[in-house]
Amino acid sequence: MARADGLKIGVVGATGVVGEILLRALERRRFPVGELRPFSSGRDPKARVRFRGKPIPAPGISEAALAACDLLFFVSSDEVSKARAERLARAGVWVIDDSSAFRMQANVPLVIPEVNAHALSAGARLIAGPNCTVTGAAVAGHPLHRAVGVRRVRMASYQAVSGAGREALRELYAQARSSAKNLEGGDLFPRLAARRSSALPRPIAFNIFPQVGSFRPGGECGEEIKVRDELRKIWGAPELAISATTVRVPVVRGHSLALWLETARPLSPARARALLKNKPGVRLWPEGEYPTPAEADGSDPVHVGRVRASGAHPNELSLWVVSDNLLKGAALNSVQIAELLLKKGWLRAR
Amino acid sequence: MARADGLKIGVVGATGVVGEILLRALERRRFPVGELRPFSSGRDPKARVRFRGKPIPAPGISEAALAACDLLFFVSSDEVSKARAERLARAGVWVIDDSSAFRMQANVPLVIPEVNAHALSAGARLIAGPNCTVTGAAVAGHPLHRAVGVRRVRMASYQAVSGAGREALRELYAQARSSAKNLEGGDLFPRLAARRSSALPRPIAFNIFPQVGSFRPGGECGEEIKVRDELRKIWGAPELAISATTVRVPVVRGHSLALWLETARPLSPARARALLKNKPGVRLWPEGEYPTPAEADGSDPVHVGRVRASGAHPNELSLWVVSDNLLKGAALNSVQIAELLLKKGWLRAR
């Protein structure tokens, strides 16, 4: 990768929750960053990030600075991506966008490297990474889909608060701290659930709520629609029938999924486990054990456990899937896409 | 109900979590208790409960004291119920058992009054109340099942810690208190999940785990099997296909369910809502709103929201259901059964 040593890598949203995780992933995976250009909203003139042990200023975006990069990671808002990503890609910059702005656009590959690396091409310089909730289902279900054809998916999610950003995390912590005072008295049913919330639609400490994103006609929320649309695109399965119920739970990192996969042809749990074992990006847990967010927090793979026959349909399996929403669900997946571009020789210093 | 005024009511397990809630339900619903006989394990000689403002000693069980009651509520362990309930019922005492000991026994009615009051009979003096997780599905799904026939059920649960008893609650509170210290520092990712647990299989503060009960051959845990067996019995639907994934979440009271009901005949969300509206025991939330455990905590009805078409199957609806696991899921349901026995004139002072 000698020719890549001089790569100029820009990170738009470098001071955000995912930005921070992305920088750590670039370091840890020894991505050949020649020069790092972190960008922030520009509201804080002293904004900076740490990279390879050094502080680096993270100024606001300037068109010239963005256009001078070889590769840009967008880990900011849909609006920021929408305003700039396409123009920069047309100008020759590789853009890996973690927002939902372009995921469903036909000319934009929506990529999880372990699942559909083939969707990448030398000419499509704007690449989208998927929603953090669909990732676990897409990675864990794909080997089974390839083997016997998944026809119908039911999915209930248990989503970490970090998926909603920094202010939501602060809100969880503040609610948990204030509830903790009520835990001292020895009362078996202390007053716990917070009464107010602002970053999230409902109180989250000692509570859960079935809403991620806003509701649409028909009664689904935004996240549930993303899961359906994106899974179909990533698997190349436009006919796939999917229903998701997406729920926020008081967990910091790690989205968990209860997943039912109804298949065209029968598949035993034993064969499903054999298909999942040693698959890149998957950690299959032994029978009788299972992952929880505590184990997935800070870990790269999609964790799969409780692979069993579903009692609801003869051709159906049930799985329990947990992945770190900030790593495989966001930052890590983007870095893996960049690694693929390097490997193919498409990403190089200009 | 004048003739019932002299009823001797025994509560086995009166000092437990459900026992306490049961006593409050008897008071609040003005159940005609002539004399209350609370029983405890007997380990604490000073054990007492409060009832109608007065402290009442709660000694260990004595066969004679139990047999002297007109009605006994068992809200203790399976073992305690197994050892005594059948013999007492044969001796003429009405026994309402909240344990799982007799639920699947053919000669024991398993009753949710709003769903299958018809299962009660004058001669069956031992009556079981269902598992706290199946209750929400049984109550919310029944009007739809009656109208168009539910054939397949998928259910993911989000279960409160109080369902696992007093020690589990104490463990949640201790873990939350110790985690709270790490929330002070302003770190965006403080160390939170506890490393040890004893009352529950895994740490629960800032974590979730997909296990309620112990695992059986085939990979289901005890709770998942109870949900299937009990729903079939309560609905009188032995062929019903069901798959549940039961998950513990860091909530104190209120079991939530993501539910998919595949039906024999099509049913629109609008008609399903019409069927659920004003049904006894159901609170239907308006479109665009939904219940959470914070609203269900301490409330009697089964809360139903997010009634919508499932994208997984043309004849399928998706629902979000929340109920207080200690009230409708346990104590309240038992008291409602007793009220029915009174109304029918079967329960009277002997």
Quick: pLDDT tens for B143-161.
999 999 999 999 999 999 9
* Distance, CA of B336 to CA of B31 (rounded, Å): 10
* Distance, CA of B52 to CA of B88 (rounded, Å): 27
So what's the pLDDT on residue B2?
39
Q: Which of B133, B243, B322, B323 should we substitute to test contact with A (largest number of A Cβ atoms within 10 Å)?
A: B243
CB pair distance less than 8 Å for B320 and A203? no
B24: confidence class by pLDDT, cuts 50, 70, 90: very high
Note if B132 is an active site residue. yes
* Distance, CA of B295 to CA of A9 (rounded, Å): 48
Residue of A nearest to B167 (CA): A188
CB-based contacts of A194, cutoff 8 Å, min separation 6 = A175, A178, A179, A203, A204, A205, A207
Q: Which of B134, B170, B189 should we substitute to test contact with A (largest number of A Cβ atoms within 10 Å)?
A: B189
Give, as one character, the DSSP assignment of residue A347.
S
Mean pLDDT of A243-259: 98
The CA distance from B82 to the nearest CA of chain A, in Å, is 28
- List of chain A residues whose C-beta atoms are within 8 Å of the C-beta of residue B196: none
Write down the mean pLDDT value for chain B.
95
For residue B212, how many other CB atoms are within 10 A of its CB? 25
Statement: residue A244 has pLDDT above 50: yes
- Tell me the three state secondary structure of residue B313: coil
* Distance, CA of A239 to CA of A135 (rounded, Å): 19
Question: 3.40.470.10, 3.30.360.10, 3.30.70.20, 3.30.870.10: which CATH number matches A134-159+212-324?
Answer: 3.30.360.10
The tokens for B238 are 């032995």
- List of chain B residues whose C-beta atoms are within 8 Å of the C-beta of residue A260: 154, 243
The tokens for B94 are 């009405």
Statement: residue B218 has pLDDT above 90: yes
B3: confidence class by pLDDT, cuts 50, 70, 90: very low
- Tell me the three state secondary structure of residue B66: helix
Nearest by CB: B206 against A152, A251, A312: A251
A1: confidence class by pLDDT, cuts 50, 70, 90: very low
The CA distance from A339 to the nearest CA of chain B, in Å, is 27
CB pair distance less than 8 Å for A218 and B243? no
A250: confidence class by pLDDT, cuts 50, 70, 90: very high
So what's the pLDDT on residue A75?
97
- List of chain A residues whose C-beta atoms are within 8 Å of the C-beta of residue B325: none
Statement: residue B222 has pLDDT above 60: yes
CB pair distance less than 8 Å for A207 and B293? yes
pLDDT of A134-179, one tens digit each? 999 999 999 999 999 999 999 999 999 999 999 999 999 999 988 8
Torsion angle of alpha carbons A10, A13, A14, A17, nearest 10°? -150
> One fold for both B2-130+331-343 and B134-166+193-325?
no
Interface size, chain A vs chain B, as Cβ–Cβ contacts under 8 Å: 188
Write down the mean pLDDT value for chain A.
95
Catalytic residue IDs of A: 132, 255
CB-based contacts of B273, cutoff 8 Å, min separation 6 = B284, B287, B307
Nearest by CB: A153 against B156, B158, B312: B312
CB pair distance less than 8 Å for B166 and A184? no
The CA distance from B348 to the nearest CA of chain A, in Å, is 34
Nearest by CB: B219 against A250, A262, A306: A306
- List of chain B residues whose C-beta atoms are within 8 Å of the C-beta of residue A226: none
Q: Where are the domains of chain B?
A: 2-130+331-343, 134-166+193-325
End-to-end CA distance of chain B: 15
Statement: residue A194 has pLDDT above 80: no
Q: What is the DSSP string of A44-109?
A: STT-EEEETTEEEE-----HHHHHT-SEEEE-S-HHHHHHHHHHHHHTT-EEEE-SSSSTT-TTS-
- List of chain A residues whose C-beta atoms are within 8 Å of the C-beta of residue B207: 251, 292-294
> Is the pTM above the cut of 0.95?
yes
B193: confidence class by pLDDT, cuts 50, 70, 90: low
Statement: residue B337 has pLDDT above 60: yes
pLDDT of B265-308, one tens digit each? 999 999 999 999 999 999 999 999 999 999 999 999 999 999 99
What is the CATH code for A2-130+331-343? 3.40.50.720
The tokens for A234 are 């990533």
So what's the pLDDT on residue B250?
97
CB pair distance less than 8 Å for A316 and B243? yes
So what's the pLDDT on residue A196?
80
Dihedral over Cα of A86, A88, A92, A96: its sign: negative
Q: Which of A226, A252, A297 should we substitute to test contact with B (largest number of B Cβ atoms within 10 Å)?
A: A252
> With contact defined as beta carbons under 8 Å apart, do A111 and A127 qualify?
yes
* Distance, CA of B32 to CA of B348 (rounded, Å): 10
* Distance, CA of A139 to CA of A136 (rounded, Å): 5
Residue of A nearest to B152 (CA): A312
* Enclosing H/E stretch for B147: helix B132-148
Residue A172 to residues A19, A198, A209, Cα–Cα distance (Å): 20, 11, 13
Q: Which position among B142, B145, B221, B255 bears the catalytic label?
A: B255
CB-based contacts of A75, cutoff 8 Å, min separation 6 = A11, A12, A13, A14, A16, A18, A19, A22, A98, A99, A330, A331, A334
CB pair distance less than 8 Å for B294 and A318? no
So what's the pLDDT on residue A193?
66
Mean pLDDT of A249-272: 98
Return the CATH fold of B134-166+193-325: Dihydrodipicolinate Reductase; domain 2 (3.30.360)
pLDDT of A306-335, one tens digit each? 999 999 999 999 999 999 999 999 999 999
- List of chain A residues whose C-beta atoms are within 8 Å of the C-beta of residue B256: 208, 210, 247
The tokens for B167 are 């020690």
What per-residue string of b and e applies to A231-255 under the rule 16 or more CB within 10 Å gives b?
A: bbbbbebeebbbbbbbbbbbbbbbb
CB pair distance less than 8 Å for B258 and A192? no
The CA distance from B116 to the nearest CA of chain A, in Å, is 23
